[in-house]
């Protein structure tokens, strides 16, 4: 999904406010990659169009935990408890993977 912004400051404000729509997109993209049998190492979390510039925001697998925790907080604030449960399951698996690979 492409999110369009008129300025960098508008984009920054959306990100800093922990926007629900952006959080939903990040969660959706991480879920797709997480459940992909190819064991993907990175995902395009979302695309932003600021004026005429298009920017892809890529998250490496080791960044998913931080992003999912942010989504978890946003979803909890919006009473999206089913998504919170799914995120907690993914976080447990990612934590196991991280600690196993040390």
The reported pLDDT for the residue numbered 102 is 59
- Residue among 96, 3, 1, 17 at smallest CA distance from 53: 3
Instruction: Look at residue 44 in the predicted model and tell me its pLDDT.
Output: 96
Cα–Cα distance between 68 and 88 in angstroms, integer?
9
Report pTM: 0.90
Residue 19 DSSP class: -
Q: What single-letter DSSP state applies at residue 102?
A: -
Q: Report the C-alpha gap between 62 and 5 in whole angstroms.
A: 28
CA nearest 70: which of 30, 11, 13?
30
Which pLDDT does position 6 carry in this prediction? 96
- Tens of pLDDT along the chain (102 residues) come to 899 999 999 999 999 999 999 999 999 999 999 999 888 889 999 999 999 999 999 999 999 999 999 999 999 999 999 999 999 999 999 988 877 765
Whole-number pLDDT of residue 39: 80
């Amino acid at each position: 999904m492409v999110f369009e912004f008129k300025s960098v400051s508008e984009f920054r404000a959306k990100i800093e406010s922990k926007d629900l729509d952006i959080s939903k997109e990040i969660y959706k993209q991480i879920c797709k990659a997480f459940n992909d049998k190819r064991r993907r190492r990175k995902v395009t979390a979302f695309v932003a169009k600021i004026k005429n510039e298009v920017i892809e925001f890529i998250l490496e697998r080791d960044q998913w935990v931080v992003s999912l925790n942010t989504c978890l907080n946003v979803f909890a604030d919006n009473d999206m408890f089913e998504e919170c449960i799914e995120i907690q399951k993914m976080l447990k698996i990612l934590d196991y993977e991280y600690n196993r690979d040390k």
